[in-house]
Structure 1
Amino acid sequence: MAKLYFYYASMNAGKSTTLLQADFNYRERGMRTLLFTAGIHDRGGKGVIDSRIGLKMSAIPFDDATDLRLIAEEEHFKAPLACILVDESQFLSATQVRQLAHLADEVGIPVLCYGLRTDFQGRLFPGSSELLALADALIEIKSVCECGRKATMNLRVDDAGNAIREGAQKEIGGNERYVALCRKHFMQRTASAV
């Protein structure tokens, strides 16, 4: 039976690298995969999954209006899909997560989603919330805080490295904009930003 998986972590944990390795493993064995990434995420270009260690792969960009189920079923009809992989899955809508659950449950295609659990304010993203509720398997990818503890939070910073507490939930950035921290240091840095 196919399952819906949610691989989650803080920034810089290697989520995209892990996704690209899984994709490579399927394709190396002659199996067909389908990759999606958030259209808002354009660090490596629109429709590109890129990792900080230099790996890249083309993917279908999605936004709130994208029908993932329809696209996947059409592709699966052309030639069977062995797996669907979704990068930046925190940007999925609740409806899209349910479409992915349908693909696992009714079509029999494993779906592997990779993304952040929480935003820079420590709040769940809508896609992550739905994945935490519906996924068959929740897998945490570990990252490290500056103190050596496990990083679980994503601190948004300004150009001077000061914590930012307010703003839009969706803002793309890399090491210049986000720092992965343990909860203790996240709370200390956000409290000092008052």
Structure 2
Amino acid sequence: MAQLYFYYSAMNAGKSTSLLQSAYNYRERGMHSIIYTAALDDRYGVGKVTSRIGLQADARLYAKGDDLFQSISEIRATQKLDCVFIDEAQFLTKEQVRQLVEVVDELKIPVLAYGLRTDFLGETFEGSHYLLAWADKLSELKTVCHCGRKASFVVRRDPNGDAVTDGDQVQIGGNDSYESMCRKHFKQLVWD
């Protein structure tokens, strides 16, 4: 039975690595899957999912307004499709999450989505919000704060290293702009 899975975490928990490993497992068993990633995140090249440990794979791009159900249906009409992977799932829209639900329920194809739960202010992204609400299975991938506790939040840093407490929700960056932290240290920097 196909299900919608949402694997979420703070940054640096290995979401892309986990996605790439799962996609490899499908290929190794002779099964066919496709990978989608957000068009706005091109840090590692357009149409690529890349992990910090060096793994990478080609991916189809999705942008706001794209119909993922239609795209996946068209692919399925021309080839066998055993699984769909979504990287950077926090950037999905409400309608795109609904489309992924339809891929699972109507096309009977499992969808594994990977993304951040919250932004640098502790607010859920639109895609994460609806995945948390509608996914069949939720799984938290864990990383650690500098203090050793589980990191559930992300702090955005400015060029001086100070915590940013306002601004656009989306700013593409990596280890140089963001730091994963436990709630206690996140609160000290962002809420206080």
**For the superposition of Structure 1 and Structure 2, which TM-score range results when normalised by the shorter chain?**
over 0.9
The separation in 1 between residues aligned to 2:84 and 2:108, in whole angstroms, is 11
Partner residue of 1:139?
139
The separation in 1 between residues aligned to 2:12 and 2:30, in whole angstroms, is 30
Tell me the CA shift for residue 67 of structure 1: 1.0
Structure 1 segments (4+ residues) deviating >2 Å = none
Matching residue's letter, 1:104:
V
The separation in 1 between residues aligned to 2:166 and 2:35, in whole angstroms, is 32
The separation in 1 between residues aligned to 2:125 and 2:52, in whole angstroms, is 22
What is the 5 A alignment of 1:1-194?
1-191=1-191
Tell me the CA shift for residue 182 of structure 1: 0.3
The separation in 1 between residues aligned to 2:116 and 2:171, in whole angstroms, is 13
Q: Which runs of 5+ in 1 are unaligned?
A: none
Cα deviation, 1:150-169, whole Å, max 9, x if unaligned, reads 00001000122110011110
Taking structure 2 as the reference length, what is the TM-score of the superposition? 0.98
* RMSD (Å), alpha carbons: 0.8
Cα deviation, 1:141-190, whole Å, max 9, x if unaligned, reads 00000000000001000122110011110111111000000000000012
The separation in 2 between residues aligned to 1:53 and 1:66, in whole angstroms, is 30
1:16 match: secondary structure: helix
The separation in 2 between residues aligned to 1:170 and 1:27, in whole angstroms, is 33
1:101 match: secondary structure: helix
The separation in 2 between residues aligned to 1:185 and 1:127, in whole angstroms, is 25
1:8 match: secondary structure: strand
The separation in 2 between residues aligned to 1:142 and 1:110, in whole angstroms, is 23
Q: Which moved more, 1:105-114 or 1:74-83?
A: 74-83
Cα deviation, 1:34-66, whole Å, max 9, x if unaligned, reads 110000111111111111111111111111121
Taking structure 1 as the reference length, what is the TM-score of the superposition? 0.97
Q: Which runs of 5+ in 2 are unaligned?
A: none
Cα deviation, 1:84-129, whole Å, max 9, x if unaligned, reads 0000000000000010010111111000000000000000000000
The separation in 2 between residues aligned to 1:61 and 1:172, in whole angstroms, is 16
